[in-house]
């Protein structure tokens, strides 16, 4: 009994001490007729098999009344998860504890629970995907919204690159490719070392080291030689093709390769514009040509998906995909005949490379919203396209070969420079904000209005001027013929001068 008490007091029993009695632990000895015989409480402890054949496992318990043998029924393994210890055990001590009043094999219960859980989770995933519980009406990161220009109500059409139409790009490319053409330009060699890749236009955007210098072989032959290649697309089934002017610039012969035809067509230039970098070609065929429809670039939003198709590096009908990165981008490129000042360009991160020029930029309706024109060599994913809004305004004149006037270019005719701190005392200024006029050519709008050299422009129409770049940007946004008020400081005195914005292209004597 001392051993029993010691074990009990030392914490041997995991379910309690002293007079705390577990209802599932029971005294298996026969009741004694002696009133002095005490009940014995025990715990299984770690389970060890005590059976030898059919003989029960017995142990001896001693107390003050002597030694008595106790027969213990060997416990069956208990399930490893928790149980309700307050539950009454069954009368038969050889039975294992049951849960929920039902007897069920462990494997069957686990398997049924797994199936039920899988069914519930699968149902929730299916419902959330179909009903867009977490993403609303539009798929996250895969959907895009474009304007349906073909609809009568001009409504918005939601298109997803994945959900509902996983091969939308492939479908557009399949339909558009037959109308995308390869344009090869040929000319007779004029001088040694001359090539299309020496054009400042290409070197501005692709870098001086991008193309190798091509040495033309010395020959007495007047045979035509290939000087360049680019892309274009057929927009009229009679064989009218749109492309960039720089693709066919200097060409004496132009050959157009159309998908499905074994031989290239000789093309005629109907009209072109150096300033707008656009050209319309015409080829003759015995049946209608596949075409691409012109869309409205104004309906596109920044972030909408776009698709570029062209012939970069001679890889015909290459398809690249990106988004519309920005709109109304102006850039200036120095060409063989002077500067090309592009305005209203579309910026995209769809890959554009040499040979893509003149190819179409498409929306997800398969409509042309721009002509791929240039890409910045100093950055990745910055390409530019001439929008169809510009093209549509000039298309009739390009088809008929009519002269296309230059787009008005607002200017006032001054040369500008930022203000250095060392000049503050001489110019009687308090800060370096503003723009210093270092030259005013005679006859320019600024000269006629009374602006002079060493005047400092600090405001335009009441808006503060930070530096020369800020002033140039504000003048560029003005309209030709508009009257603007400049606040200037001259010899420490502040005054306002009104200038009528002129057209750089119409002026014979112009400054920066």
Residue corresponding to tokens 């000269």 = 447
**Cβ atoms of 499 and 488 closer than 8 Å:** no
Two structure tokens written together for 21: 């009695």
Question: Using CB atoms within 10 A of its CB, is residue 468 exposed (0-12), middle (13-18) or buried (19+)?
Answer: buried
Question: Where does 190-267 have alpha helices with state H?
Answer: 200-206, 245-248
Do residues 15 and 22 make contact, with C-beta atoms less than 8 angstroms apart? yes
Helices (H) and strands (E) in the chain, counts: 9, 24
Written as six digits, the tokens of 62 are: 């001693």
Q: Which residues pair with 454 in a beta bridge?
A: none
Cα–Cα dist 203/210, whole Å:
8
Question: In Å, what is the CA distance from 321 to each residue of 160, 161, 175, 302, 318?
Answer: 14, 11, 16, 15, 10
Give me the phi and psi of 280, to 5 degrees please.
Answer: -120, 125
Q: What share of the chain is helix, strand, coil (3-state, %, to 5)?
A: 20, 30, 50
Spatial distance between the Cα atoms of 67 and 413, rounded to a whole number of angstroms: 123
**Which are the contacts of 16, defined by CB distance < 8 A and separation ≥ 6?**
22
Residue spans of alpha helices (H) in 219-278: 245-248
Q: What residues form DSSP beta bridges with 425?
A: none
Query: 338-348 and 318-335 as β-strands: parallel, antiparallel, unpaired?
Result: antiparallel
- Compute the distance between CA of residue 419 and CA of residue 130 in angstroms, rounded to an integer: 62
* Spatial distance between the Cα atoms of 457 and 465, rounded to a whole number of angstroms: 7
Evaluate the CA torsion angle 234, 236, 239, 240 in order and state its sign: negative
Here the tokens at position 115 are 């199936």
Catalytic residues: 246, 277, 357
């Amino acid at each position: 009994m001392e051993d029993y008490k010691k074990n009990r007091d030392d914490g041997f029993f995991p379910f309690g001490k002293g007079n705390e009695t577990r209802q599932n632990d029971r005294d298996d000895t026969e009741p004694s007729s002696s009133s002095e015989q005490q009940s014995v409480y025990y715990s299984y402890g770690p389970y060890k098999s005590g059976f030898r054949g059919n003989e029960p496992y017995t142990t001896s318990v001693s107390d003050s009344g002597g030694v008595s043998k106790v027969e213990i029924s060997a416990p069956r393994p208990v399930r490893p998860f928790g149980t309700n210890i307050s539950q009454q055990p069954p009368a038969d001590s050889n039975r294992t504890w049951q849960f929920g009043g039902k007897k069920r094999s462990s494997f069957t219960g686990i398997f049924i629970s797994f199936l039920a859980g899988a069914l519930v989770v699968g149902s929730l995933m299916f419902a959330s995907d179909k009903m867009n519980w977490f993403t609303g009406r539009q798929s996250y990161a895969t959907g895009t919204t474009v304007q349906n220009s073909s609809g009568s109500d001009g409504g918005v059409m939601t298109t997803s690159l994945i959900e509902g139409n996983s091969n939308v790009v492939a479908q557009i490319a399949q339909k558009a490719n037959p109308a995308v053409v390869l344009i090869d330009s040929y000319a007779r060699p004029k001088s040694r070392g001359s090539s299309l890749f020496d054009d400042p236009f290409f070197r501005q955007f692709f870098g001086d080291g991008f193309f190798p210098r091509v040495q033309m072989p010395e020959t007495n032959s007047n045979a035509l030689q290939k000087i360049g290649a680019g892309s274009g697309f057929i927009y009229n089934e009679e064989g009218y093709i749109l492309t960039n002017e720089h693709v066919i610039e200097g060409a004496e012969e132009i050959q157009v390769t159309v998908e499905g035809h074994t031989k290239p067509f000789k093309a005629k230039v109907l009209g072109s514009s150096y300033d707008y970098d656009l050209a319309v070609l015409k080829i003759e065929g015995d049946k209608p040509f596949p075409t691409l429809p012109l869309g409205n670039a104004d309906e596109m939003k920044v972030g909408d998906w776009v698709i570029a198709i062209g012939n970069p590096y001679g890889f015909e009908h290459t398809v690249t995909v990106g988004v519309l990165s920005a709109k109304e981008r102006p850039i200036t490129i120095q060409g063989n005949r002077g500067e090309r000042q592009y305005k209203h360009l579309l910026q995209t991160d769809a890959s554009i490379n040499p040979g893509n020029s003149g190819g179409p930029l498409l929306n997800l309706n398969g409509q042309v919203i721009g002509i791929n024109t240039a890409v910045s060599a100093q950055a990745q994913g910055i390409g530019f396209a001439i929008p169809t809004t510009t093209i549509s305004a000039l298309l009739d004149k390009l088809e008929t070969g009519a002269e296309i006037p230059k787009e008005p270019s607002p200017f006032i005719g001054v040369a500008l420079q930022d203000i250095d701190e060392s000049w503050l005392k001489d110019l009687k200024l308090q800060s370096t904000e503003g723009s210093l006029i270092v030259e005013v050519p005679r006859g320019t709008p600024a000269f006629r209005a009374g602006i002079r050299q060493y005047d400092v422009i600090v405001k335009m129409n009441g808006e503060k001027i930070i530096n020369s770049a800020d002033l140039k940007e504000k003048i560029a946004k003005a309209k030709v013929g508009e009257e603007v008020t400049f606040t200037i400081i001259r010899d420490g005195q502040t005054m306002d001068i009104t200038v009528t914005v002129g057209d750089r292209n119409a002026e014979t004597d112009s400054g920066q």
